[in-house]
Structure 1
Amino acid sequence: MAKRLVILGGGESGVGTAILGKKKGYDVFVSDFGKIKDNYKEVLALNKLPWEEEQHTESLILNADVVMKSPGIPDKSPIVKKLMEKGVPVISEIEFAQQFIEVDTIGITGSNGKTTTTMLTHHLVKQGGLNFGLAGNIGKSFAWQIAENKHEGYVLELSSFQLDGIVDYRPHIAVITNISPDHLDRYEYKYENYIAAKFRITMNQTENDYLVYDADDEIISKWLGEHKIKAKKIPFSLTKELNEGIYLKNNTIISNITNEEFTMPINELSLEGKHNVKNAMAATAVAQLMRIRKDTIRESLSNFQGVEHRLEKVLKIQNVQYINDSKATNTNATFFALDSMAAPTVWIVGGVDKGNDYDELMPLVREKVKAIVALGVDNEKIKKAFESVVDVLVETTSMTEAVKIAQKLAEKGDTVLLSPACASFDLFENYEDRGKQFKNAVQNL
């Protein structure tokens, strides 16, 4: 009898897993407690895969041999609890899919910078002539790409939720960009649980694998000091010279991790900002470990186009620069954004707060922000934090209105920055939808 694979969640990772599962001979069923988008329903129908939406039918789910849970579904959800009680393995798409490949993966995680680092790394390995897929938290699902079997390796962006659901997954090169409090609502508000989730990326690595990490990050250094890992450590740093690693000296990136020393002046990087120097260091480490030529690495770092919704310059109108940083869904990401502002800033902030502590932003807000537009259903916490710090704070629940207010508040030479520091689900479908609405509103000014 075929093994029964039940998939919770009919989104990108769910549908991809369903296609791979069917191809590998599983008896597949997809169940989504919400609505499944039409384009995914078409794919499911085309592949003759059974599905249900707006319910979880227990008789069709609890008989599973293995369950793939989409990253958006918390462990606390009733159906997941019942499966756990029955002892049914509940895994992530990454774990399910990895058993069907023999090729290497590069796994990248971190609270911030992981999308940019993942896309930059993928750009470097592709420019270096390697046919690697790009998947994980981004693009076409890992499982789907494995079902199509066109790649000689994969660069994966991995969230803590995806790492929660791994058992045997082992990246050949793992990257941890940084760790700061995020998604604590999913980790019983215990920071140490979230930190442990991130470090699952290295738990199955062997002496032949690598862990690339930010040596300036206190949380990472502390954890590595207290736990033994097998992988070879490759640190990068902006502040200290490393005997073996990647560091900054005289505004030049220097890497001595392989026999070939690599150097690149940071003013030649296509991305601006200190945090992007770190992202470039992480990507360079991977590219060198993958034996990509130095000239190719240098060229790729200088022509990389950046990520949509991440400090994306939209338009200049009446000498006011509008910047879309909708992808900043926590305070740490917004810290980087405010830190890189050179002009007085009208800051659009707000959404679903994930247990944010706004204290770390105070010095930057005092120094750079002239006015705040709070865009959210509930702005109380933001008001309480910043009312006394800025001269003007206006509340709204519409993006079009937020942009119009910002335009009124901005003068020539100012910047209007959308960097919400919060999730988007109170008013938008996701951060992409929020960013697109911002760009539309700016284009219609």
Structure 2
Amino acid sequence: MKTLTQFPYNNVLVIGLAKSGEAAATLLHNSGVRVRVNDRKPLEENPQAQKLQAMGIEVITGSHPITALDDMEYVVKNPGIPYDNELIQVAIDRGLPVVTEVELAYMLMQDHLIGITGSNGKTTTTTLVYEMLKASGKSTHIAGNIGNVASHVAQTTEQEDVMVLELSSFQLIGTETFKPHIAVFLNLYEAHLDYHKTMDHYSYSKARLFANQTEDDYLVYNKDQSVVQQLVTTAKSILVPFSQKEKLNNGVWKDGQYLYFKSEPIIELQRIMLEGKHNLENIMAAVAAALLSGATVEGIRHVLTTFAGVKHRMQFVKEVHGRRFFNDSKATNLLATQNALQSFTQPTILLAGGLERGNALDDLAPFLRNVKAMILFGETAPKFKQLAIQNGIDTYELVDNVKQAAERAYHLSEEGDVILLSPACASWDQYRTFEERGDMFMDAVHTLK
């Protein structure tokens, strides 16, 4: 396992555990750095803190006292902790660097990094690139927001290995020197304003992906979205666009029959297994990143003709008596649910709701034309009820959870219907993760008679 050999700080505070905090603290400790860990969860309820304490790491739990910063030179924070947290604010006021653990991952592995961000499509694109490189015979690792902690995975890499990172704005805002050789910027839509407060800050956070790139690096970006085009004008790297609307001499594009990279036909569109206009954007971005990283056209074609999607993202679960169930629990914003609804022409029962973030739902209205009923749950259920009423959807029910939602949707459905879990909201009002929410839904579907 690799360690940090030229780390310039001797005393580091890790704030917030979960998987990323535990990985960062362990890496720093194994690298000979004095580490202090601070986590809000009490020690007796905190097995991760207990484990770190048993390793000889100083642990402070139960609150975030300002004294945790005493004698500290550097702060690694869990991405989920907002910057208006008092301890983070004091650290910044004292001039301490405040980073997320992906900064440590970069210190371990500065070559052959692919970083992927966007408001939607990150997981699908990251997985596609990973599979394309693997199918091309390259030693490849996948990490980041996709579930594998980057700084842990980076410790296991060899010199020529490639690491594909899914990166959220929460992770990127906490970077200083981080620089992927290939950056992929998929799209930018209003999201996470409860954390970032303004679109300007959210945009700035996403643009950290390529802020440190040089003329030796590549930036794959969505040429069809003006806000992305505007942001990438500041990049020093080589721009590689993708577009569904125009022919490109320097990127990925399509005509009515083929997908191309520059002038080279890559694959016939009808051979691509993954459906949906939004997924074609993800595919275009993945093709560019994979080719720039040394993937073969044969490897790319193999993946595109066999890859049907990732778990919890438009995942086909099961057909029960002519009803097709889809798990799109990873749809945590309106755009993702819009994309999901556009994928079907059949009568659809939509299962939606979750964490209240103050967002209006009006932008969903044009996409409800095939929705015959809505089953609603979570904090936003009353808002979705009003959306149903305003759009002439007479059949709607409020339930306690996605298990009940699946059961009620089946009861209300007819042969030929699609039953779609696409919540358009984060899961944290009822579930620890969107994965937990999706798993409950799938378990319920598999028990239907």
Q: Normalization by structure 2: what TM-score?
A: 0.93
Following superposition of structure 1 onto structure 2, how do residues 289-308 of structure 1 map, counting pairs within 5 Å?
289-308=292-311
Residue in structure 2 matched with residue 14 of structure 1 by the alignment: 21
Structure 2 equivalent of residue 233 of structure 1: 239
- Which residue in 2 is equivalent to 1:388? 390
Partner of 2:170 in structure 1? 161
Deviations 1:116-153 (A, max 9, x none): 10011111112222222211112321111233344623
Q: 1:94 to 1:2 in 2, by over 3 A?
A: closer
Question: In 1, are the aligned partners of 2:65 and 2:87 still within 8 Å (CA)?
Answer: no
1:427 is matched with 430
| Conservation of the 8 A alpha-carbon contact between 2:9 and 2:74 | no
**C-alpha separation in 1, matches of 2:20 and 2:255:** 42
Could you say which residue in structure 2 is the equivalent of 1:96? 104
Question: Which of 206, 211, 217 in structure 1 is aligned with 2:214?
Answer: 206
CA contact (8 A) 2:103 2:174 kept: yes
For 1:398, the equivalent position in structure 2 comes to 401
Distance verdict in 2 for CA 1:298–1:2, change over 3 Å? closer
Closer, same or farther: CA 305–19 of 1 in aligned 2, 3 Å: farther
Q: 1:373, 1:393 within 8 Å by CA — same for their partners in 2?
A: yes
Aligned twin of 2:227: 219
In structure 2, relative to structure 1, the CA distance for the partners of 1:222 and 1:149 (3 Å cut) is closer
Please state if 1:247 is matched with 2:253: yes
Separation in 2, partners of 1:20, 1:116: 29
Find the aligned partners of 2:120 and 2:371 in 1 and give their Cα distance.
22
> What is the Cα-based RMSD across aligned positions, in Å?
2.0
Q: CA deviation at 1:429?
A: 1.2
SS of the residue corresponding to residue 170 of structure 2 reads helix
Matched residue SS, 2:209: helix
Q: Distance in 2 between matches of 1:49 and 1:138?
A: 28
State the partner residue of 1:377: 379
- 1:50: how far off? 3.5
Amino acid at match of 1:242: L
Is 2:194 aligned against 1:185?
yes
Identify the residue that residue 32 of structure 1 maps to in structure 2: 39
Q: Which residue of 2 aligns with 1:143?
A: 151
Following superposition, the deviation at residue 2 of structure 1 comes to 7.0
The correspondence of residues 52-91 of structure 1 with structure 2, limited to 5 A, is 52-91=60-99
Is 2:352 the partner of 1:349?
yes
Give the direction of change, closer, same or farther, for the CA distance of 1:38–1:186 in structure 2 (3 Å limit). Answer: closer
Structure 1 unaligned runs (5+)?
A: none
Deviation at 1:11, TM superposition (A): 1.0
For residues 286 and 357 of structure 1, do their structure 2 counterparts lie closer, same or farther at Cα, with a shift above 3 Å needed? same
Query: Are 1:126 and 2:134 matched, yes or no?
Result: yes
> Offset at 1:403?
1.5
Residue 23 of structure 1 pairs with residue 30 of structure 2 = yes
How many Å separate the matches in 2 of 1:393 and 1:194? 34
Matches of 1:436 and 1:415, distance apart in 2? 18
What letter matches 2:257 in structure 1?
N
Letter of the structure 2 residue corresponding to residue 283 of structure 1: A
Between the two proteins, the alignment pairs up a number of residues equal to: 438
CA 197–38 in structure 1, closer or farther in 2 if over 3 Å, else same: same
Shift of 1:39: 6.2
TM-score w.r.t. length of structure 1: 0.93
Cα distance, 1:304–1:78 mapped onto 2, change above 3 Å: same
Q: Compute the displacement of 1:46 (Å).
A: 6.3
**Structure 2 partner of 1:332:** 335
Residue type at the aligned position of 2:117: T
CA shift digits 1:249-303 (9 cap, x unpaired):
013211117xxx2421122223111111111111110111122221111112222
